[in-house]
C-alpha cells in the first residue's frame, strides 16, 4: 500500500535560516506528490505539488523536487520567516485517485525571531 514518511518535529529554527523537511514515500505506480500546510487556527491548504519525476513544485519561496530514484520529495526554503510557523504535511495520491490522499504524520515547524 501507499505510505509517506516525514521527519518528526518539532523543528525549531531562527528567522532567515535554511529549511529542509525530509519526505520519502512508497507507492504503486507513479504517484502525484504534494505538500500541504496548516497554519495555526486554519484548515489544511495546498502549498505545492509535483505530478511526475524531476518536476519541481514551488510556492511562497518553498520548493520540492520529485525524485523518483530516491522516492523523495523534500521541502526546502532558503530563508524562513516567523510567518512560516505551521504544520507541514507531505502527501501522495496514486492511480486514478480513487484512494484519496495518503498523508505523512506532519512536521511542526517553529520559527523564532
Partner 1 sequence: EAGVAQSPRYKIIEKRQSVAFWCNPISGHATLYWYQQILGQGPKLLIQFQNNGVVDDSQLPKDRFSAERLKGVDSTLKIQPAKLEDSAVYLCASSIRGGPSEKLFFGSGTQLSVL
Q: Indicate the residue among 40 and 113 with the shorter CB distance to partner 1.
A: 40
Q: CB under 8 Å to 98, separation ≥6 — which residues?
A: none
Q: Indicate the residue among 67 and 103 with the shorter CB distance to partner 1.
A: 103
Q: Indicate the residue among 91 and 109 with the shorter CB distance to partner 1.
A: 91
Among 3, 66, 61, 10, smallest CA distance to 34 is for 66
What SS3 class is residue 25? strand
**Smallest gap from residue 8 Cβ to partner 1 (A):** 10
Residues near partner 1, by CB under 8 A: 4, 32, 36, 42-46, 49, 51, 89, 91, 93-106
Read off φ and ψ for residue 82, nearest 5 degrees: -55, -35
Amino acid at each position: 500500500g501507499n505510505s509517506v514518511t516525514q521527519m518528526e518535529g518539532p523543528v525549531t529554527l531562527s528567522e532567515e535560516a535554511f529549511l529542509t523537511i525530509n519526505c520519502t514515500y512508497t507507492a504503486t505506480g507513479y504517484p502525484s506528490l504534494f505538500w500541504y500546510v496548516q497554519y495555526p487556527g486554519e484548515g489544511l491548504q495546498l502549498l505545492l505539488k509535483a505530478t511526475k519525476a524531476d518536476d519541481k513544485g514551488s510556492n511562497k519561496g518553498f520548493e520540492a523536487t520529485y525524485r523518483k530514484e530516491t522516492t523523495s520529495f523534500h521541502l526546502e526554503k532558503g530563508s524562513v520567516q516567523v510567518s512560516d510557523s505551521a504544520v507541514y504535511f507531505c502527501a501522495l495520491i496514486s492511480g486514478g485517485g480513487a484512494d484519496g490522499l495518503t498523508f505523512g504524520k506532519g512536521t511542526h515547524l517553529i520559527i523564532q525571531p
